[in-house]
Structure 1
Amino acid sequence: MSVQEQAKEYVPAGSYQRTSQNINVTITALCQKNDGSWVQSPPLSYSANQAGTITDLANMNGVLTLFTDNPANHNVSDNLGPFVPAGSYQRTSQQVSVTLNAVCQKIDGQWVPSQPLNYTAEQAANANDIANRDGNLRLE
Protein backbone atom coordinates (compact mmCIF):
# COMPACT_ATOMS: atom_id res chain seq x y z
CA MET A 1 0.00 0.00 0.00
CA SER A 2 1.45 3.38 -0.97
CA VAL A 3 1.93 6.18 1.55
CA GLN A 4 -0.73 8.23 -0.22
CA GLU A 5 -3.25 5.37 -0.07
CA GLN A 6 -2.45 4.76 3.59
CA ALA A 7 -2.77 8.47 4.43
CA LYS A 8 -6.29 8.55 2.97
CA GLU A 9 -7.51 6.17 5.67
CA TYR A 10 -6.49 8.51 8.48
CA VAL A 11 -7.61 11.82 6.93
CA PRO A 12 -11.37 12.33 6.55
CA ALA A 13 -12.41 11.92 2.92
CA GLY A 14 -14.11 14.67 0.99
CA SER A 15 -13.98 17.12 -1.88
CA TYR A 16 -12.48 19.73 0.49
CA GLN A 17 -9.09 18.06 -0.02
CA ARG A 18 -8.85 19.49 -3.55
CA THR A 19 -8.97 23.10 -2.26
CA SER A 20 -7.47 22.79 1.23
CA GLN A 21 -3.99 22.62 2.67
CA ASN A 22 -2.43 22.35 6.12
CA ILE A 23 -5.15 19.86 7.08
CA ASN A 24 -5.16 18.86 10.75
CA VAL A 25 -7.29 16.17 12.40
CA THR A 26 -8.23 15.83 16.07
CA ILE A 27 -10.11 12.82 17.42
CA THR A 28 -11.75 12.41 20.83
CA ALA A 29 -13.66 9.38 22.07
CA LEU A 30 -14.96 7.56 25.07
CA CYS A 31 -12.50 4.66 25.27
CA GLN A 32 -12.69 1.36 27.08
CA LYS A 33 -9.85 0.63 29.48
CA ASN A 34 -8.32 -2.80 30.07
CA ASP A 35 -10.44 -3.21 33.23
CA GLY A 36 -13.65 -2.69 31.19
CA SER A 37 -14.38 0.84 32.44
CA TRP A 38 -14.92 3.75 30.04
CA VAL A 39 -13.00 7.05 30.12
CA GLN A 40 -12.82 10.15 27.97
CA SER A 41 -9.53 10.01 26.07
CA PRO A 42 -7.41 13.13 25.76
CA PRO A 43 -7.65 14.52 22.20
CA LEU A 44 -5.34 12.98 19.60
CA SER A 45 -4.17 15.44 16.92
CA TYR A 46 -2.06 15.02 13.80
CA SER A 47 -1.57 16.64 10.40
CA ALA A 48 -2.44 15.18 7.03
CA ASN A 49 1.29 15.30 6.28
CA GLN A 50 1.90 12.92 9.19
CA ALA A 51 -0.90 10.58 8.12
CA GLY A 52 1.27 8.80 5.55
CA THR A 53 3.42 7.40 8.34
CA ILE A 54 0.53 6.20 10.53
CA THR A 55 0.07 2.44 10.83
CA ASP A 56 -2.72 2.55 13.42
CA LEU A 57 -4.78 4.80 15.65
CA ALA A 58 -5.32 2.66 18.72
CA ASN A 59 -6.99 2.76 22.11
CA MET A 60 -4.24 2.04 24.64
CA ASN A 61 -5.99 1.52 27.98
CA GLY A 62 -8.28 4.51 27.50
CA VAL A 63 -5.90 6.79 25.59
CA LEU A 64 -6.08 7.31 21.83
CA THR A 65 -2.57 6.65 20.51
CA LEU A 66 -0.96 7.17 17.11
CA PHE A 67 1.40 4.42 15.90
CA THR A 68 3.96 4.90 13.14
CA ASP A 69 5.82 1.63 13.59
CA ASN A 70 6.10 -1.33 11.24
CA PRO A 71 3.84 -0.91 8.17
CA ALA A 72 3.22 -4.68 8.32
CA ASN A 73 1.17 -3.92 11.46
CA HIS A 74 -1.05 -1.56 9.46
CA ASN A 75 -4.53 -1.77 10.95
CA VAL A 76 -7.50 -0.43 9.04
CA SER A 77 -10.76 -0.59 10.94
CA ASP A 78 -13.05 1.79 9.16
CA ASN A 79 -16.48 0.71 10.34
CA LEU A 80 -17.37 4.36 11.00
CA GLY A 81 -17.08 5.32 7.32
CA PRO A 82 -14.84 7.51 5.18
CA PHE A 83 -15.29 10.73 7.17
CA VAL A 84 -13.93 9.26 10.44
CA PRO A 85 -10.25 8.29 10.62
CA ALA A 86 -9.64 4.54 10.48
CA GLY A 87 -7.91 2.57 13.21
CA SER A 88 -8.25 -0.22 15.71
CA TYR A 89 -9.56 2.30 18.29
CA GLN A 90 -12.95 1.98 16.60
CA ARG A 91 -13.45 -1.48 18.14
CA THR A 92 -13.13 -0.23 21.74
CA SER A 93 -14.33 3.37 21.51
CA GLN A 94 -17.67 5.13 21.34
CA GLN A 95 -18.91 8.71 21.10
CA VAL A 96 -16.16 9.41 18.55
CA SER A 97 -15.83 13.07 17.55
CA VAL A 98 -13.65 14.61 14.87
CA THR A 99 -12.41 18.18 14.51
CA LEU A 100 -11.02 19.17 11.14
CA ASN A 101 -8.94 22.30 10.57
CA ALA A 102 -7.50 23.49 7.26
CA VAL A 103 -6.48 26.48 5.24
CA CYS A 104 -9.09 26.64 2.48
CA GLN A 105 -9.23 28.40 -0.86
CA LYS A 106 -12.09 30.83 -1.31
CA ILE A 107 -13.94 31.38 -4.59
CA ASP A 108 -11.83 34.52 -5.22
CA GLY A 109 -8.62 32.43 -4.90
CA GLN A 110 -7.63 33.73 -1.47
CA TRP A 111 -6.46 31.16 1.12
CA VAL A 112 -7.97 31.52 4.59
CA PRO A 113 -8.05 29.43 7.77
CA SER A 114 -11.43 27.75 7.99
CA GLN A 115 -13.40 27.69 11.20
CA PRO A 116 -12.88 24.25 12.81
CA LEU A 117 -15.39 21.67 11.60
CA ASN A 118 -16.59 19.56 14.55
CA TYR A 119 -18.75 16.49 14.03
CA THR A 120 -19.58 13.14 15.57
CA ALA A 121 -19.28 9.72 13.98
CA GLU A 122 -23.08 9.58 13.96
CA GLN A 123 -23.30 12.82 11.97
CA ALA A 124 -20.58 11.57 9.60
CA ALA A 125 -22.55 8.36 8.96
CA ASN A 126 -25.32 10.46 7.38
CA ALA A 127 -23.00 12.68 5.34
CA ASN A 128 -22.16 12.54 1.65
CA ASP A 129 -19.17 14.87 1.64
CA ILE A 130 -16.93 17.23 3.54
CA ALA A 131 -16.76 20.28 1.31
CA ASN A 132 -14.98 23.62 1.20
CA ARG A 133 -17.68 26.24 0.72
CA ASP A 134 -15.91 29.53 0.01
CA GLY A 135 -13.28 28.98 2.69
CA ASN A 136 -15.43 27.12 5.21
CA LEU A 137 -15.46 23.39 5.81
CA ARG A 138 -18.94 21.84 5.80
CA LEU A 139 -20.24 18.33 6.49
CA GLU A 140 -22.89 17.76 3.82
Structure 2
Amino acid sequence: MSTHVYIANSLNQDVYVLPAEKTGWLLGDVGFSVALLATGATEIRLLGMASELPTALRTVRDLFIFLRIMSGTYGSAQNISKFSQQVVDQVKNNAIKIPAGQVVDVLDQGFLSTYTSLSGVIGQIFSADTFNLLVMTDDGKQVALASTNPDYSWIVQGDRRVRSAYGASPWQADPGAGVYLFNAGDFVPPGSYQQTCKDIHVTLTCSAKARNGSAHRASFDLTAHSSDVSLSNVDGSLVVDNDTASANGFVPGGSYTQTCSEIKVELTCQAQKGDMTYQAASLDLTNFESADVSNNNGVLVNES
Protein backbone atom coordinates (compact mmCIF):
# COMPACT_ATOMS: atom_id res chain seq x y z
CA MET A 1 0.00 0.00 0.00
CA SER A 2 1.39 3.40 -0.97
CA THR A 3 2.01 5.99 1.73
CA HIS A 4 1.54 9.72 1.27
CA VAL A 5 1.83 12.73 3.58
CA TYR A 6 0.87 15.90 1.75
CA ILE A 7 1.85 19.33 3.10
CA ALA A 8 -0.10 22.29 1.70
CA ASN A 9 1.69 25.62 2.08
CA SER A 10 -0.73 28.54 2.30
CA LEU A 11 1.95 31.05 3.34
CA ASN A 12 3.56 33.69 1.14
CA GLN A 13 6.98 32.18 1.80
CA ASP A 14 8.51 28.77 1.22
CA VAL A 15 8.35 26.02 3.85
CA TYR A 16 10.97 23.32 4.46
CA VAL A 17 10.18 19.85 5.84
CA LEU A 18 12.62 17.35 7.31
CA PRO A 19 11.04 13.88 7.79
CA ALA A 20 12.56 11.77 10.56
CA GLU A 21 11.54 8.37 11.87
CA LYS A 22 12.72 9.40 15.35
CA THR A 23 13.48 12.77 16.93
CA GLY A 24 16.79 11.25 18.01
CA TRP A 25 18.00 10.85 14.42
CA LEU A 26 21.56 12.14 14.06
CA LEU A 27 21.84 15.26 11.90
CA GLY A 28 25.17 14.09 10.52
CA ASP A 29 23.39 11.13 8.93
CA VAL A 30 21.17 13.42 6.87
CA GLY A 31 23.77 15.81 5.51
CA PHE A 32 24.33 18.42 8.22
CA SER A 33 27.80 19.73 9.00
CA VAL A 34 28.70 18.17 12.34
CA ALA A 35 31.72 20.50 12.73
CA LEU A 36 29.60 23.64 12.32
CA LEU A 37 26.95 22.43 14.75
CA ALA A 38 29.55 21.53 17.37
CA THR A 39 31.34 24.88 17.11
CA GLY A 40 28.17 26.92 17.28
CA ALA A 41 26.76 24.96 20.19
CA THR A 42 29.91 25.57 22.21
CA GLU A 43 29.81 29.32 21.51
CA ILE A 44 26.17 29.63 22.49
CA ARG A 45 26.54 27.67 25.71
CA LEU A 46 29.32 30.06 26.74
CA LEU A 47 26.70 32.82 26.64
CA GLY A 48 24.75 31.26 29.51
CA MET A 49 22.08 29.23 27.70
CA ALA A 50 23.18 25.84 29.02
CA SER A 51 19.94 25.10 30.87
CA GLU A 52 17.77 25.48 27.77
CA LEU A 53 19.88 23.90 25.04
CA PRO A 54 21.06 20.28 24.91
CA THR A 55 24.75 19.78 25.54
CA ALA A 56 25.29 19.38 21.78
CA LEU A 57 23.37 19.89 18.54
CA ARG A 58 23.38 16.29 17.37
CA THR A 59 19.80 15.22 16.70
CA VAL A 60 16.63 16.41 15.00
CA ARG A 61 15.21 17.12 18.46
CA ASP A 62 18.23 19.28 19.35
CA LEU A 63 17.82 21.16 16.07
CA PHE A 64 14.17 21.98 16.79
CA ILE A 65 14.94 23.27 20.28
CA PHE A 66 17.79 25.39 18.95
CA LEU A 67 15.71 26.92 16.13
CA ARG A 68 12.80 27.64 18.44
CA ILE A 69 14.98 29.39 21.03
CA MET A 70 16.94 31.31 18.40
CA SER A 71 13.75 32.64 16.82
CA GLY A 72 12.81 34.25 20.13
CA THR A 73 14.67 36.00 22.89
CA TYR A 74 18.25 35.35 21.77
CA GLY A 75 17.93 35.70 18.02
CA SER A 76 18.77 39.41 17.90
CA ALA A 77 22.29 39.05 19.30
CA GLN A 78 24.69 39.51 16.38
CA ASN A 79 27.10 36.67 17.15
CA ILE A 80 24.21 34.25 17.70
CA SER A 81 22.27 35.49 14.69
CA LYS A 82 25.15 34.69 12.32
CA PHE A 83 25.36 31.10 13.48
CA SER A 84 21.56 30.79 13.50
CA GLN A 85 21.44 31.76 9.83
CA GLN A 86 24.05 29.12 9.03
CA VAL A 87 21.89 26.48 10.72
CA VAL A 88 18.78 27.73 8.88
CA ASP A 89 20.71 27.45 5.61
CA GLN A 90 21.66 23.88 6.46
CA VAL A 91 18.02 23.00 7.04
CA LYS A 92 17.16 24.44 3.63
CA ASN A 93 19.94 22.46 1.97
CA ASN A 94 18.90 19.16 3.54
CA ALA A 95 15.10 19.40 3.76
CA ILE A 96 12.25 19.16 1.27
CA LYS A 97 11.19 22.54 -0.09
CA ILE A 98 7.47 23.35 -0.40
CA PRO A 99 7.06 26.56 -2.42
CA ALA A 100 4.48 29.12 -1.37
CA GLY A 101 0.99 28.14 -2.50
CA GLN A 102 1.92 24.57 -3.44
CA VAL A 103 1.33 21.04 -2.14
CA VAL A 104 4.10 18.43 -1.85
CA ASP A 105 4.01 14.78 -0.84
CA VAL A 106 6.97 14.66 1.56
CA LEU A 107 7.06 10.86 1.32
CA ASP A 108 7.56 10.93 -2.42
CA GLN A 109 10.54 8.71 -3.20
CA GLY A 110 12.04 11.34 -5.50
CA PHE A 111 12.12 13.94 -2.74
CA LEU A 112 13.43 11.52 -0.13
CA SER A 113 16.23 10.31 -2.38
CA THR A 114 17.56 13.87 -2.61
CA TYR A 115 17.01 14.40 1.10
CA THR A 116 19.24 11.48 2.08
CA SER A 117 21.49 8.99 0.33
CA LEU A 118 20.95 6.41 3.07
CA SER A 119 18.45 3.84 1.80
CA GLY A 120 18.09 2.41 5.29
CA VAL A 121 16.96 5.78 6.61
CA ILE A 122 14.26 5.98 3.93
CA GLY A 123 13.14 2.46 4.76
CA GLN A 124 12.74 3.36 8.44
CA ILE A 125 10.35 6.18 7.55
CA PHE A 126 8.17 3.98 5.36
CA SER A 127 8.02 1.13 7.88
CA ALA A 128 7.15 3.31 10.89
CA ASP A 129 3.61 3.49 12.31
CA THR A 130 4.27 7.15 13.09
CA PHE A 131 7.18 9.42 12.27
CA ASN A 132 8.18 13.04 12.81
CA LEU A 133 8.21 16.15 10.67
CA LEU A 134 10.41 19.15 11.38
CA VAL A 135 8.75 22.09 9.60
CA MET A 136 10.48 25.47 9.19
CA THR A 137 9.44 28.63 7.36
CA ASP A 138 11.85 30.26 4.92
CA ASP A 139 12.74 33.08 7.35
CA GLY A 140 13.55 30.56 10.09
CA LYS A 141 11.21 32.30 12.54
CA GLN A 142 8.60 29.55 12.76
CA VAL A 143 9.46 25.93 13.41
CA ALA A 144 7.55 22.85 14.48
CA LEU A 145 8.41 19.26 15.36
CA ALA A 146 5.48 16.89 15.56
CA SER A 147 4.60 13.27 14.96
CA THR A 148 2.23 12.24 12.20
CA ASN A 149 0.54 9.10 10.96
CA PRO A 150 1.71 8.03 7.49
CA ASP A 151 -1.67 8.82 5.95
CA TYR A 152 -2.23 12.28 7.45
CA SER A 153 -1.91 15.50 5.47
CA TRP A 154 -1.32 19.00 6.82
CA ILE A 155 -1.91 22.66 5.95
CA VAL A 156 0.53 25.37 7.02
CA GLN A 157 -1.47 28.48 7.94
CA GLY A 158 0.03 31.63 9.47
CA ASP A 159 1.37 30.75 12.91
CA ARG A 160 -0.09 27.24 12.97
CA ARG A 161 -0.60 23.90 11.29
CA VAL A 162 -3.94 22.17 10.89
CA ARG A 163 -4.70 18.68 9.65
CA SER A 164 -6.37 18.17 6.31
CA ALA A 165 -9.73 16.39 6.18
CA TYR A 166 -9.21 12.69 5.53
CA GLY A 167 -9.94 11.69 1.94
CA ALA A 168 -10.50 15.29 0.83
CA SER A 169 -8.36 17.92 -0.86
CA PRO A 170 -5.10 18.66 1.00
CA TRP A 171 -6.33 22.27 1.23
CA GLN A 172 -9.51 21.31 3.13
CA ALA A 173 -8.98 21.53 6.88
CA ASP A 174 -10.49 19.07 9.35
CA PRO A 175 -12.26 21.34 11.89
CA GLY A 176 -12.25 18.62 14.53
CA ALA A 177 -8.54 17.80 14.36
CA GLY A 178 -7.30 20.76 16.43
CA VAL A 179 -4.74 23.50 15.94
CA TYR A 180 -0.96 23.07 16.31
CA LEU A 181 1.07 26.22 16.86
CA PHE A 182 4.55 26.77 15.49
CA ASN A 183 7.40 27.06 18.01
CA ALA A 184 5.63 24.68 20.38
CA GLY A 185 6.65 21.18 21.39
CA ASP A 186 4.82 18.12 22.68
CA PHE A 187 4.20 19.52 26.16
CA VAL A 188 1.93 22.27 24.80
CA PRO A 189 -1.50 20.62 24.93
CA PRO A 190 -3.76 20.77 21.88
CA GLY A 191 -7.16 22.41 21.96
CA SER A 192 -9.32 25.24 20.72
CA TYR A 193 -7.75 27.64 23.27
CA GLN A 194 -4.85 28.13 20.86
CA GLN A 195 -7.16 30.12 18.58
CA THR A 196 -7.93 32.73 21.27
CA CYS A 197 -4.81 32.69 23.47
CA LYS A 198 -1.31 34.13 23.07
CA ASP A 199 2.04 34.00 24.88
CA ILE A 200 1.54 30.28 25.51
CA HIS A 201 4.12 28.60 27.74
CA VAL A 202 4.46 25.33 29.64
CA THR A 203 6.78 25.45 32.65
CA LEU A 204 8.01 22.83 35.10
CA THR A 205 8.75 23.98 38.65
CA CYS A 206 10.07 21.96 41.56
CA SER A 207 12.16 21.92 44.70
CA ALA A 208 15.63 20.76 43.57
CA LYS A 209 18.27 19.47 45.98
CA ALA A 210 21.74 21.01 45.63
CA ARG A 211 25.03 19.19 46.29
CA ASN A 212 25.20 20.57 49.82
CA GLY A 213 21.75 19.14 50.60
CA SER A 214 19.89 22.46 50.51
CA ALA A 215 16.70 22.82 48.46
CA HIS A 216 16.28 25.39 45.70
CA ARG A 217 13.24 26.43 43.70
CA ALA A 218 13.99 25.45 40.10
CA SER A 219 12.09 25.95 36.86
CA PHE A 220 12.40 24.80 33.27
CA ASP A 221 10.59 26.01 30.14
CA LEU A 222 9.11 22.94 28.41
CA THR A 223 7.38 24.88 25.63
CA ALA A 224 9.75 23.89 22.82
CA HIS A 225 10.61 20.38 23.92
CA SER A 226 9.54 16.99 22.63
CA SER A 227 8.06 14.43 25.00
CA ASP A 228 11.24 12.33 25.09
CA VAL A 229 13.41 15.10 26.56
CA SER A 230 15.46 14.00 29.58
CA LEU A 231 16.21 16.42 32.43
CA SER A 232 18.89 16.32 35.10
CA ASN A 233 19.35 18.22 38.34
CA VAL A 234 22.78 19.86 38.40
CA ASP A 235 23.37 21.41 41.81
CA GLY A 236 19.82 22.72 42.10
CA SER A 237 19.26 23.67 38.43
CA LEU A 238 17.39 21.71 35.77
CA VAL A 239 19.25 21.07 32.51
CA VAL A 240 18.76 18.94 29.40
CA ASP A 241 21.01 15.91 29.16
CA ASN A 242 21.85 13.77 26.15
CA ASP A 243 19.59 10.87 27.12
CA THR A 244 15.99 10.34 26.13
CA ALA A 245 13.22 9.55 28.58
CA SER A 246 9.51 8.80 28.58
CA ALA A 247 7.21 11.49 29.90
CA ASN A 248 4.49 10.69 32.42
CA GLY A 249 1.67 12.66 30.87
CA PHE A 250 2.99 16.22 30.82
CA VAL A 251 5.77 15.56 33.35
CA PRO A 252 9.09 14.94 31.56
CA GLY A 253 11.32 12.04 32.48
CA GLY A 254 14.92 12.09 33.62
CA SER A 255 17.17 11.60 36.61
CA TYR A 256 16.01 14.91 38.14
CA THR A 257 13.00 13.09 39.61
CA GLN A 258 15.36 11.32 42.05
CA THR A 259 16.52 14.57 43.69
CA CYS A 260 13.55 16.89 43.11
CA SER A 261 10.17 17.14 44.83
CA GLU A 262 7.00 19.20 44.53
CA ILE A 263 7.12 18.78 40.76
CA LYS A 264 4.50 20.82 38.93
CA VAL A 265 3.86 21.44 35.23
CA GLU A 266 1.71 24.45 34.37
CA LEU A 267 0.29 25.90 31.17
CA THR A 268 0.18 29.71 31.18
CA CYS A 269 -1.00 32.23 28.59
CA GLN A 270 -2.89 35.42 27.92
CA ALA A 271 -6.47 34.30 27.26
CA GLN A 272 -9.03 36.33 25.36
CA LYS A 273 -12.35 37.04 27.08
CA GLY A 274 -15.74 37.65 25.55
CA ASP A 275 -15.13 41.40 25.48
CA MET A 276 -11.97 40.76 23.36
CA THR A 277 -9.59 41.82 26.14
CA TYR A 278 -6.92 39.46 27.49
CA GLN A 279 -6.18 38.22 30.98
CA ALA A 280 -3.56 35.94 32.48
CA ALA A 281 -4.70 32.32 32.64
CA SER A 282 -3.16 29.06 33.80
CA LEU A 283 -3.90 25.34 34.00
CA ASP A 284 -2.11 22.74 36.14
CA LEU A 285 -1.15 19.88 33.79
CA THR A 286 0.77 17.81 36.34
CA ASN A 287 -1.75 15.02 36.79
CA PHE A 288 -3.18 14.89 33.27
CA GLU A 289 -2.31 11.96 31.00
CA SER A 290 -3.64 13.98 28.06
CA ALA A 291 -5.52 17.23 27.56
CA ASP A 292 -7.87 18.99 25.17
CA VAL A 293 -7.88 22.57 26.41
CA SER A 294 -10.49 25.24 25.72
CA ASN A 295 -10.75 28.91 26.65
CA ASN A 296 -13.95 29.67 28.55
CA ASN A 297 -14.12 33.47 28.70
CA GLY A 298 -10.51 33.80 29.82
CA VAL A 299 -10.36 30.61 31.89
CA LEU A 300 -8.54 27.49 30.66
CA VAL A 301 -10.49 24.22 30.92
CA ASN A 302 -9.43 20.66 30.14
CA GLU A 303 -12.26 19.09 28.13
CA SER A 304 -10.80 15.57 27.97
Q: Give the TM-score normalised by structure 2.
A: 0.32
Determine if contact 2:271/2:281 at 8 Å carries over to the other structure: no
Letter in 2 for 1:78: A
Q: Give the C-alpha shift of residue 129 in structure 1.
A: 4.3
Q: Show the counterpart of 2:235.
A: 61
Determine if contact 2:229/2:243 at 8 Å carries over to the other structure: yes
Q: More strand by proportion, 1 or 2? A: 1
Give SS of 2:189's match: coil
Q: Give the C-alpha shift of residue 132 in structure 1.
A: 2.0
Letter in 1 for 2:208: C
Q: Give the C-alpha shift of residue 107 in structure 1.
A: 5.6
Letter in 1 for 2:238: L
Give SS of 2:244's match: coil
In 2, distance between residues paired with 1:120 and 1:22? Answer: 17
Which of 259, 267, 289 does residue 100 from structure 1 map onto? 267
Matched, 1:25 2:209: no
Q: Show the counterpart of 2:296.
A: 133
Q: Unmatched 5+ residue regions in structure 2?
A: 1-22, 24-131, 135-144, 148-184
1:63-82 to 2 correspondence within 5 Å? 63-65=237-239, 67=240, 73=242, 75-79=244-248, 81-82=249-250
Pair member with larger Rg: 2
Q: Show the counterpart of 2:146.
A: 5
Determine if contact 1:95/1:120 at 8 Å carries over to the other structure: no
For residues 45-92 of structure 1, the C-alpha deviation after alignment (integer angstroms, 9 at most, x for no partner) is: 46x3x446x954332232223x3x8xxx3523312x13x3x2413454
Q: Give the C-alpha shift of residue 101 in structure 1.
A: 1.7
Identity of aligned residues (%): 23
Determine if contact 1:31/1:41 at 8 Å carries over to the other structure: yes
Letter in 2 for 1:75: T
Which of 261, 274, 278 does residue 112 from structure 1 map onto? 278
For residues 84-110 of structure 1, the C-alpha deviation after alignment (integer angstroms, 9 at most, x for no partner) is: 3x24134542211233221334467x3
- Number of residue pairs aligned between Structure 1 and Structure 2: 122
Q: Show the counterpart of 1:40.
A: 216
Determine if contact 2:279/2:298 at 8 Å carries over to the other structure: yes
Larger RCO (CA within 8 A; separation ≥ 6):
1
Determine if contact 1:29/1:96 at 8 Å carries over to the other structure: yes
Change in Cα spacing, 1:87 to 1:32, as seen in structure 2 (3 Å) is same
